[in-house]
A = this chain, B = another copy of it.
């Protein structure tokens, strides 16, 4: 399992992912699910993956090889003239990898499904947030839906539904993403620390934050405990309400 959440706010993008993967309940590993490409002042991209790890790793490798190959003909994630075009390149890589492996994976009784969130901005364009599905089709977040989630998303959705709008600040967005992750970590063992956090402020074309939050991170732990205490205190206040 996995949990990744991406907020597209007027102030910028906030992305947060866990790092736990499991093949069955008895084979648990730690893998990065967040990847970034940045040309400071020109373009900043962040990508998060969920689903079959062999599929998503192959997609990432394909995209990186296109960037690294001096003889590659065509647009890459770093040269695409628009974020929409970058999403198309990613979607094409998804289709190519799926065409190669999905049938074999499925016939072995495994799940080849994968989904990828792509977010970023290039100079001259707007902030964009896309969700790319296994079939290579994709959707874009609109002002009505300022966040996308992939993986085990349900535990962490209520807090986002209640507090996140396009107007939410980057700092509040980080908090909302962390609390959404915290609820998921508590209820779903298949989602686990450490976390990867990325923040891309609007029209800066840079990653203003890109860091790992370790399991023993004192700030995250303090936030988690403070939130728990607040929820319990809020719950006690509900005693006064007639039911």
Contact = CB atoms under 8 A, between A and B. Distances in A.
Interface of A: 152, 154-155, 157-159, 161-163, 171-172, 174-176, 178-179, 183, 186-187, 219-220, 222-223, 226-228, 230-235, 237-239, 241-243
Contacts of A175: 235, 238-239, 241, 243
Contact of A241 (B161, B219, B241, B243): B219
Contacts of A222: 241-242
Nearest to A227: B238
A226 B237 CA distance: 9
A223 B239 contact: no
Contacts of A172: 235, 239
A158 B183 contact: yes
B171 A186 contact: no
A44 to B, nearest CB: 20
Given A155-B157, A226-B241, A234 B235 contact: no
Lowest 3 A-B CB distances belong to which pairs?
A154-B154, A230-B234, A158-B183
B234 A234 contact: yes
Contacts of A159: 231, 235
Contacts of A231: 159, 162-163, 231, 234
A97 to B, nearest CB: 29
A18 to B, nearest CB: 16
A222 B240 CA distance: 11
B154 A187 contact: yes
Given A154-B155, A243-B174, A179 B238 contact: yes
A16 B220 CA distance: 34
Given A154-B187, A155-B154, A158-B186, A171 B239 contact: yes
A231 B228 CA distance: 11
A161 B222 CA distance: 19
A179 B235 contact: yes
Given A159-B231, A175-B238, A223-B241, 9 more contacts: A158-B187, A162-B232, A163-B232, A171-B239, A172-B239, A175-B241, A222-B242, A223-B238, A231-B231
